[in-house]
Amino acid sequence: MDDFTKVIVSENDISRKLDDIAEQIRTDYAGKDVLLVGVLKGAVMVMADLARRLPPSFQMDWMAVSSYGSGTKSSGVVRILKDLDTDLTGRDVLIVEDIIDSGITLHWLLNNLRSRGANSVEVAALLRKPEAVQVDIDVQYVGFDIPSDFVVGYGLDYAEKYRTLPFVAILKPEVYGG
């Protein structure tokens, strides 16, 4: 399995960072019953590991959206493939994301969820690429700012592969024809 140039975020890095983020979330949302919204499929790992560090009154729900197809560039068009089961009226919502790249998905998602009458909608993202920093989106909790290389692992895929890796690694450009 020599498909990666290097591991940029290790299993240990992730674990320690999630401890920090969870502590901030517990403080910021003290006494509130938060709805964690995960974006399938990439956020599955970060959701599972973050949610287990949060109070058991917190709930989880899932959305599936598509902005990428199977390639490595955002198409700019976001479609809902699976919507939430939960009514957001009056809820404190925390979107749990794997990575913010162009920010297109998140920008769209924030507008969409805010229009449903939530009390608050914030974002926790494990990874953020440089391009996203320039987009005017307020991301409350960010794990790691990483270079703009295409990365895989810990939920992130290339053509549905590599999601199961316990770390985040840079995929060799040869693998995706880059």
Side chain identity, residue 17: K
Q: Please, what sign has the CA dihedral across residues 111, 106, 25, 82?
A: positive
Token pair recorded at residue 169: 């690694």
Nearer to Mg ion, 25 or 155 (CB): 155
**44 lines the binding site for ligand IMP (CB under 6 A):** no
Is 105 in contact with 74 (CB distance < 8 Å)? Answer: yes
Question: Choosing among Mg ion, ligand IMP, none, which partner's interface includes residue 151 (Cβ < 5 to 8 Å by kind)?
Answer: ligand IMP
Site string for ligand IMP, 49-68 (x = CB under 6 A): ------------------xx
In the chain, count of helices (H) and strands (E)?
5, 9
Residue 120, binding choice from Mg ion, ligand IMP, none, Cβ under 5 to 8 Å by partner class: none
Contact 177, 168 (CB under 8 A): no
Give whichever of 21 and 100 is closer to ligand IMP, judged by the CB atom.
100
Contact pick of 21, 25, 35, 42 for ligand IMP (by CB under 6 A): 42
Using the minimum distance from each CB to ligand IMP, give the nearer residue, 93 or 104.
Answer: 104
Least Cβ distance, residue 56 to ligand IMP (angstroms): 27
Q: Which is nearer to Mg ion, 103 or 118 (CB)?
A: 103
Could you tell me the two tokens for 137? 């989106």
Say which residues have a Cβ less than 8 Å from residue 177's Cβ, sequence separation at least 6: none
The two most distant CA atoms of the chain are separated, in Å, by 49
Q: Where does this chain bind Mg ion (CB under 5 A)? A: 42
Binding site for ligand IMP (CB under 6 A): 39, 42, 67-68, 74, 97-106, 150-152, 156
